[in-house]
Amino acid sequence: MAGMCAGWVAPSAIASSRTWAGGSGNWTLAGNWGGTAPVAGDELIFSGSSVTNTNNFTAGTAFSGITFASGASAFTLSGTNSITLSGYITNSSSTAQTISIPLSIASEIIVDTGATGITLGGSGASAGGVISGAGGLTKNGTGTLTLNAKNTYTGATTINSGTLAMGNTSEGNLSSTTAVTIASGATLALGAYSPISPTRQAGSIAGAGNITSTANASTFTVGGDNTSTLFSGKLSAGVGQQLTLTKVGTGVLTLSGANTNMATQITGGMVVFQNTSAQSNKTVTVAAAGSVGLGVGGSGSYTEANVVSLFNSSLASFTLDAASGVGIDTTAGNFTLATALTAARKLTKLGANTLTISSSNTYSGGTLISAGAVLANTSSGSALGSGAATVASGATLGGSGRIGAATTISNGATLSAGGTLSSIGTLTFTSGITFATGSILDFQLGAASSDKLVVSGGTLTGAGDDTITVNLTDAGDFAAGTYTLIDATGATFSNFDASTFEIGETIDGYTFTFSRSGNLIQLIATTAVVPEPSIYAAFAGVVTLALAAGYRRRRG
């Protein structure tokens, strides 16, 4: 072809929009589309009116979108062959529309109901069908999207506006793995079908919208995707009705909205009520594999008496299996626990801010500090009971008391001795402590004293040849001298040795080195002599403990 560059290849067919010309019949008939039938990849536009129309394309044929034009009357798109939809469904008409064709979605599709609504899966005698695939569904528009289909798609479900209604049939459920997010002002309606009390499900719930039930008794099961989410919206049932929220899986569901007529069953993972309104006015039942958390430290929060009663199985409206766990969420503010916890269950600390424990506790189910800080200021006994304790990445354990639980400081977690996180004190472990690779030690240094970690029993375990970061903060009037940072008299050492590796770093006129004397790990601070530039360059960088644990200096 003259003028064409060498190697030119003709483009493939470009996707087009095909508009239904009216009448009734099969989709493959060109006459129903104004003379040209659609091909795979086209957008389908339905305008005018149709008595009946049937998708008779080969099952799985892909189309980019379906649009109901502004002047369209009520359509019902029917057929048993599925189509693969890659883009959108839009209702621009003033009439509600129905699609009873099985849909396969490989990626996100956006369904805009407009003001009048769309039903997927048919209605009445034609209700059913399947929405399948790994894709997700985003709902826009002020109208209602009714799902009468059997929904097996596994991608996320996002409700930005209007209502997504699980239809009044046994088919209108969501998959157990779809993550549902409901924007403020939007609604997920669980639906009702008589005479059955509906059982609905979702992988997880998040957002600030509404979840409503209009059945006399309905169950909504969430948590199957094992994620942790916050739902700040409202779950509710009508007057004289009850919605039962059932939590499964391993994640944490945090509720902070004012819920009504909602009972809670926790069979796996944890449900946290960040305030008393979130609990609603019905019962809470916790199975052996479940946990329940209470929000503390703010307006509308639970009290210390509530926490202790819950932990010891005597808080009204709560029924806990003896093996279930209890969480304390300090998202709303700092909180002090001065009353003993005695049951044989696990304690989990959640949320930012600080939980200060001054009681001597005998609970034996273990402790997880998952976020924020815990100050162990118990003068006798053990602040964290007797079961194994773990400080998760990003969380902090500090205080000037005693801990009788064998404790692990995880990668990214911090141990900070002292009565507060910024004062000098001694924190004692009677059953050993383990520092994982990447864990952090914080010490405050004063004129003649410093924070001290005492390990009086068990094993002091380090990370072998890997690094532990040590932060040194000037607590005031710091001077040269020898500071005992770790006293492990009575404990066994394992991969924790200051030995001979002492690489100094000169900061603010001092050089810091570590040494071990017996079971003492000491910090030696001396007035620095600034080396020649060539020598100084060789020592610049992170200081390494001789157990091959590095530290960095931080000014307060």
The token pair that represents 107 in the structure block = 């990626």
Higher-confidence residue of 513 and 212: namely 212
| Residue 160 near residue 139, CB atoms below 8 Å | yes
Average pLDDT, integer, range 361-376 = 98
Average pLDDT, integer, range 259-282 = 97
Quick one: pLDDT at residue 228? 98
Q: In this structure, how many other beta carbons lie within 10 angstroms of the beta carbon of residue 554?
A: 14
Percent of the chain at pLDDT > 90 equals 69
Quick one: pLDDT at residue 509? 72
8 has a pLDDT exceeding 90: no
Q: Residue 438: which pLDDT band, with cuts at 50, 70 and 90? A: confident
| Residue 173 near residue 197, CB atoms below 8 Å | no
Burial of residue 485 (CB within 10 Å: 0-12, 13-18, 19+) is: buried
Q: 2: which residues sit within 8 A by CB, 6+ positions away?
A: none
Quick one: pLDDT at residue 124? 57
Quick one: pLDDT at residue 48? 87
Number of helical (H) and strand (E) elements in the chain, helices listed first: 2, 56
| Residue 88 near residue 112, CB atoms below 8 Å | yes
Q: Which of 23-32, 168-177, 184-193 has the lowest mean pLDDT?
A: 168-177
Q: Which of 12-16, 257-261, 485-489 has the lowest mean pLDDT?
A: 12-16
Average pLDDT, integer, range 380-409 = 97
Q: Where are the alpha helices (DSSP H) in 290-403?
A: 304-311
Q: Residue 193: which pLDDT band, with cuts at 50, 70 and 90? A: low
pLDDT tens per residue across span 166-178: 986 667 789 999 9
| Residue 372 near residue 330, CB atoms below 8 Å | yes
SS (H, E, C) 385-433: CCCCEEECCCCEEEECCEECCCEEECCCCEEEEECCCCCCCEEEECCCE
DSSP letter at 450? Answer: B
Quick one: pLDDT at residue 464? 67
- For residue 514, the surrounding DSSP H or E stretch is strand 510-517
φ and ψ at 539, to 5 degrees? -110, 0
Three-state SS at 185:
coil
The residues spanned by each domain of the chain are 15-175
Q: Which of 25-34, 194-203, 301-310, 463-472 has the lowest mean pLDDT?
A: 463-472
54 has a pLDDT exceeding 50: yes
Quick one: pLDDT at residue 4? 42
Burial of residue 217 (CB within 10 Å: 0-12, 13-18, 19+) is: middle
Pairing of strands 481-487, 520-527: antiparallel
Highest mean pLDDT: which range of 46-50, 85-89, 514-518: 85-89
Q: Where are the alpha helices (DSSP H) in 143-256?
A: none
For all residues of the chain together, what is the average pLDDT?
Answer: 88
How far is residue 382's CA from residue 388's CA, in Å, rounded to a whole number? 12
pTM over 0.85: yes
Quick one: pLDDT at residue 216? 83
pLDDT tens per residue across span 484-539: 999 999 999 988 865 422 333 345 777 888 888 889 998 888 886 655 554 433 33
Higher-confidence residue of 526 and 83: namely 83
Higher-confidence residue of 137 and 516: namely 137
Higher-confidence residue of 9 and 147: namely 147
Percent of the chain at pLDDT > 70 equals 87
The strand order across the sheet containing 440-445 reads 335-337, 354-357, 373-376, 396-399, 414-417, 440-445, 469-474, 550-553, 543-544
7 has a pLDDT exceeding 50: no
Quick one: pLDDT at residue 531? 53
CA atoms within 13 A on the CB side of 376: 30
Q: Which of 262-266, 432-436, 546-550 has the lowest mean pLDDT?
A: 546-550
- For residue 434, the surrounding DSSP H or E stretch is strand 433-435
- Residue 133, phi-psi category: left (phi > 0), alpha (psi -120 to 50), beta (remainder): left
Q: Which of 48-62, 152-166, 266-280 has the lowest mean pLDDT?
A: 48-62
CA atoms within 13 A on the CB side of 156: 13
Quick one: pLDDT at residue 532? 52
Higher-confidence residue of 276 and 218: namely 276
Quick one: pLDDT at residue 123? 64
Q: Residue 235: which pLDDT band, with cuts at 50, 70 and 90? A: very high
Rounded-to-5 percentages of helix, strand, coil across the chain = 5, 40, 55
| Residue 496 near residue 466, CB atoms below 8 Å | no
Distances (CA, A) of 420 to 126, 372, 376, 474, 523: 67, 13, 9, 15, 21
Q: Which of 198-212, 237-251, 528-542 has the lowest mean pLDDT?
A: 528-542
- For residue 495, the surrounding DSSP H or E stretch is none
Average pLDDT, integer, range 443-468 = 86
